[in-house]
Structure 1
């Protein structure tokens, strides 16, 4: 009897820390690190993640930079790109290459596709807002436009229109459904110091440019709602700038940037860039890309395959004292759940 009591007490002394450890660990599967590398050109960038309700998988669309193309001169390796798709069947913890998006818009023999954003409307249709460059160029001094495309399966895309925005050099759309069920798109106006502008639409088809939204230099705006406020994250090329708003008009900057300091995990030693954010209840996930070969954390001109290649990482966001934080070195446990409508809806 005494021996039995002794073993029971010993077992109880062991269980509490084990139980506490289990309680501290977030639910979900441990995300791969790096999360995803493109098998074709090793140049995955600008991710956007959405639930494919027909196939019951998560899709990740991304700019497929030609990092391993030995014939690319100047900055042609970030031109001539097409949009690729990765898929996940385990809630976002691991991803595999699926296909190249079939975009039915090729008015010029050579063209460039950059930085898609994809949303689902209330009727279940998919809409892509894609940066289009009419050629493959050795420098940055050429027009770029934002296209509207639609799809029923997230694989095949029909051209709808070229948006009538404020200039002929616009990139990086981020589309969000407003409380009144209309839509707003934020984008980068390269002719105004790369500031963030916006446009409104009642139906995703007809757009009216509204002008300046945020006088900050940056790319890849991403807007979402979490913890009873709106957030905008932009790529500052020195980490991700964070801004918050209560009305989607006035944006307050956060002093601290995200994924600015080099990480310690595999292929995560450089600044993070152009993100997507997936919000699920009280949890949110930051999908960002990084150039692992640029170990000093600067987007200096890439001259080698090692510094050109890029890949996707994920980290969980946290809301602490009115600010967003994330620790790219902590293990990320993720279990994205199917969404009834677009993650961009309220």
Structure 2
């Protein structure tokens, strides 16, 4: 090979490396991943592919962090926010979901979970009948359907263990069996579950996990089922072979503070996406609630929340998560 040809080959290799490096950098997830531009209170995300738009959509609890309030009114009176992304890296605000279930003045919508089945999107939404200053009010889970992920039609209010339930999470076992986990606030905030054959009619089955926690998220990965539960001190991780008997792993994830922007506080109520064999956890943080430098209680910085993203790894039989590690992602439909 002549020196000229050899130099040309080296140049081509270097160009390819630069292109790949640039592409990887372009797909590196920012910190924070998303900050709601209206109220700056994004939380409880769920990620789903919008087939019509050919984009990924994030639906989230849109808590009103920017309003003046010293009670808990700011987490009430909320609408479900929507953001979208082509690849899971850059997200932009779209609107709020048009949920046509509003029987009470000052209605509150919390913690959506969305599943697509046979061309219809199904949302299971926590509904609170008003905007309240305390926690002493009913909370139920309602079923809504949509063809476009933006406009939602009410189907029913689920008959579960009581009317103090929140945070539904639905998993499709097969075409005729679906399982929902949710938080029963009257039973020490433990996790209960219900089964359905069609996503419309649900049969409550009782307690699934006898431990405090909320925002359960179930997924299949590494040959077994996992459930991540928000324990308010990081996330508990459970595993199962049959979706009935759950074993808690010794260590929590997203408990220790991160070092990158707005990620110094514990991670909360998450969604997990399995894509290209990798597992990604979408969670929220209150940046102003870091132990090292907490914001004044009730201030905007104390209430503000953002969405973050990290990759899960499976190491020595445990799910682990390094929130400081850069995440390179390009979600495929």
Alignment TM-score, normalising by the size of structure 2: 0.92
Classify the secondary structure of the residue corresponding to 1:333: coil
Q: Distance in 2 between matches of 1:258 and 1:194?
A: 20
Q: Which runs of 5+ in 1 are unaligned?
A: 339-346
Residue 26 of structure 1, CA deviation: 7.8
Shift of 1:319: 1.2
Q: Is the 8 A contact 1:46 1:274 kept in 2?
A: yes
Q: Distance in 2 between matches of 1:181 and 1:301?
A: 50
Q: Secondary structure at the match of 1:306?
A: helix
Tell me, what secondary structure is at the counterpart of 2:88?
coil
Question: 1:41/1:27 Cα in 2 relative to 1: closer, same or farther (>3 Å)?
Answer: closer
**2:122 aligns to what?**
127
Distance 1:250 1:141 in 2: 32
Hey, what does 1:78 align to over in structure 2?
75
**Paired residue for 1:99, among 95, 98, 108?**
95
Q: Report if aligned partners of 1:54, 1:153 keep a CA contact under 8 Å in 2.
A: yes
Indicate the residue corresponding to 2:329 in structure 1. 334
How far is 1:281 from its partner?
Answer: 3.7
Query: How far is 1:300 from its partner?
Result: 10
Residue 295 of structure 1 deviates from its aligned partner by 1.0
CA positional deviation for 1:73:
3.9
Which residue of 1 is the match for residue 61 of structure 2? 63
Asked if 1:185 corresponds to 2:183, the answer is no
2:231 corresponds to 1:236: yes
- CA displacement 1:183-235 (0-9 Å, x = unmatched): 00000000000000000000000000000000010010000100110000000
User: Which residues of structure 2 form unaligned runs of 5+?
Assistant: none
Write out aligned runs for 1:181-260 (5 A): 181-260=176-255
How many corresponding residue pairs? 325
Structure-1 separation of matches of 2:143 and 2:291? 37
SS in 2 for 1:220: strand
- The 8 Å contact of residues 70 and 298 in structure 2, kept in 1 or not, is answered as no
Distance in structure 1 (CA, Å) of the matches to 2:293 and 2:250: 19
Secondary structure (helix, strand or coil) at the match of 1:35 reads coil
Residue equivalent to 1:341? none
Task: Name the CA shift for 1:236/1:301 in 2 (closer, same or farther; >3 Å).
Answer: farther
- How does 1:269-284 map onto structure 2 within 5 Å? 269-284=264-279
Q: Aligned in 2, Cα 1:231/1:26: closer, same or farther, shift over 3 Å?
A: farther
Q: Indicate conservation of the 8 Å contact 1:261/1:297, yes or no.
A: no
Contact 2:270 2:282 in 1 (8 A): yes
2:113 corresponds in structure 1 to 117
Residues 68-117 of structure 1, C-alpha deviations (whole Å, 9 max, x = no match): 012x340000011110100002x100100001000001111111110000
In structure 2, relative to structure 1, the CA distance for the partners of 1:95 and 1:251 (3 Å cut) is same
Partners of 2:162 and 2:91 in 1: CA distance:
36
* Residue in 2 that maps onto 1:152: 147
2:164 corresponds in structure 1 to: 169
Q: In structure 2, which of residues 25, 33, 46 is the aligned counterpart of residue 35 of structure 1?
A: 33
Cα distance in structure 2, aligned partners of 1:326 and 1:169: 32
Question: Structure 1 length as normaliser, TM-score?
Answer: 0.89
